[in-house]
């Protein structure tokens, strides 16, 4: 079983790079989610561990210690730059360069190059640096900087979910190539396998979930083998679902009956008259009228508050229309 460690930079009070309403800590989590979805849908024979799947802070040492203790085969750290320049770059440790690290970096970089061409995003190249997570990790490790948050061209890309998804897919393919992961042969979605264990469907975007009981986590959707334990009121994100279970981190399952979906408020960027009409048609079709308000103070924006899975339909709609929006969990 190959072990992949993903390190979404920053988190919690550490926002990372910030500009024009964009936060590095959120963007890297989105990219990480695309990596997880793609790997889980297309490959088998690996397990995955992350620094964080939620908005929490871990120190650089805690990140590396977690990966080292787990015995990861690959360490991928995801970041966004700032400083007014433009383009993508990735780093490996500048001293004692290990051959496998070079191979990993090249596998990733070679897939990323296609995305850079597609979006006319410049390539700042394969670089060396003495970053602490690269220095202290035991396994082949790469740190990537996707673009500059405070540059107009790059910020526009970072606001485009399709770009973030393409980057995530490129990272996933690079890591899969390096680890020589086995592709999933059959349709991973929906069908049951021989033992009658329901296979999960992957969600379009993660959902925020909270436990309503002290509850167990399980190895599969049949919930036959325990893997751990979550306390009541634990908040986490799920990336997939089977009929009666949510999938956590692509490797643990939790019974739906012991959880509730946390509400989210989505605020769109300013909408044109035409946008408003398109959105009104959508909310009518989806029966979301009561969930949507339009604000007209200065800018016309829509605020959509939902406490169920329809939140995913709304995000899919906004992504399809390529409208920028901000999603926030409703904090009570």
Contacts of 151 (CB under 8 A, 6+ apart): 84, 85, 86
- d(CA 203, CA 208) in angstroms, rounded, equals 12
Q: Which is nearer to Zn ion, 79 or 315 (CB)?
A: 79
Count of chain residues binding Zn ion (CB under 5 A): 3
Phi, psi of 122 (to 5 degrees): -75, 155
Q: Which residue is nearest to Zn ion (CB)?
A: 79
**Structural tokens at position 246:** 């949510």
- d(CA 325, CA 181) in angstroms, rounded, equals 35
- d(CA 89, CA 112) in angstroms, rounded, equals 10
9 lies in the site for Zn ion, by CB under 5 A: yes
Q: Which is nearer to Zn ion, 30 or 254 (CB)?
A: 30
- Minimum CB–partner distance for residue 84 and Zn ion (Å): 15
89 is catalytic: no
11 lies in the site for Zn ion, by CB under 5 A: no
**Structural tokens at position 42:** 């297309």
**Structural tokens at position 77:** 């750290």
- Minimum CB–partner distance for residue 140 and Zn ion (Å): 20
Stretch that binds Zn ion, among 3-11, 82-90, 103-111, 295-303 (CB under 5 A): 3-11
Type and span of the H or E element at 116: helix 99-118
Q: In terms of Cα–Cα distance, which of 37, 39, 34, 68 is closest to 51?
A: 68
Interface pick for Zn ion out of 2, 6, 11, 16 (rule CB under 5 A)? 16
**Structural tokens at position 276:** 């408003």
Tell me which of 24, 89, 145, 264 is the catalytic residue: 145
Q: Which is nearer to Zn ion, 17 or 221 (CB)?
A: 17
Q: Which is nearer to Zn ion, 17 or 245 (CB)?
A: 17
**Structural tokens at position 39:** 């790997």
42-81 residues near Zn ion, rule: CB under 5 A: 79
131 lies in the site for Zn ion, by CB under 5 A: no
Stretch that binds Zn ion, among 6-14, 55-63, 177-185, 242-250 (CB under 5 A): 6-14
- Minimum CB–partner distance for residue 296 and Zn ion (Å): 37
Q: Which is nearer to Zn ion, 82 or 259 (CB)?
A: 82
CA dist 249 → 107, 187, 288, 324, 326 (Å): 24, 20, 30, 26, 23
Give the residues lining the site for Zn ion (CB under 5 A): 9, 16, 79
Task: Provide the annotated active-site residues.
Answer: 145
């Amino acid at each position: 079983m190959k072990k992949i460690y993903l390190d979404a930079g920053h988190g919690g009070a550490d926002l990372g790079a910030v500009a024009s309403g964009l936060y590095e800590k959120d963007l890297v989590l989105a990219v990480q989610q695309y990596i997880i979805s793609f790997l889980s849908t297309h490959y088998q024979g690996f397990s995955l561990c992350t620094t964080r799947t939620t908005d929490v802070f871990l120190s650089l040492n805690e990140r590396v210690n977690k990966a080292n203790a787990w015995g990861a085969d690959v360490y991928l750290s995801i970041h966004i730059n700032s400083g007014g320049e433009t383009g993508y770059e990735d780093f490996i440790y500048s001293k004692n360069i290990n051959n496998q690290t070079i191979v990993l970096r090249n596998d990733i970089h070679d897939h990323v190059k296609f995305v850079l061409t597609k979006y006319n995003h410049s390539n700042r190249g394969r670089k060396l640096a003495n970053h602490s997570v690269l220095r202290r990790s035991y396994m082949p490790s790469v740190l990537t900087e996707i673009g500059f948050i405070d540059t107009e061209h790059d910020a526009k890309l970072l606001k485009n979910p399709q770009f973030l998804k393409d980057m995530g897919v490129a990272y996933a393919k690079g890591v899969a190539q390096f680890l020589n992961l086995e592709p999933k042969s059959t349709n991973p979605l929906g069908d049951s396998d021989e033992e009658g264990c329901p296979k999960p469907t992957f969600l379009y975007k993660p959902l925020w979930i909270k436990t309503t009981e002290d509850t167990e986590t399980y190895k599969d959707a049949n919930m036959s083998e325990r893997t751990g334990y979550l306390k009541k009121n634990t908040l986490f994100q799920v990336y997939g679902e089977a009929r009666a279970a949510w999938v956590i981190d692509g490797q643990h399952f939790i019974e739906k009956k012991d959880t509730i979906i946390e509400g989210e408020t989505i605020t769109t960027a300013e909408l044109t008259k035409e946008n408003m009409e398109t959105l009104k048609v959508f909310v009518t079709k989806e029966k979301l009228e009561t969930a949507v308000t339009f604000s007209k103070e200065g800018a016309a924006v829509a605020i959509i508050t939902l406490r169920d899975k329809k939140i995913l339909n709304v995000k899919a709609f906004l992504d399809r229309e390529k409208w920028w929006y901000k999603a926030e969990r409703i904090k009570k």
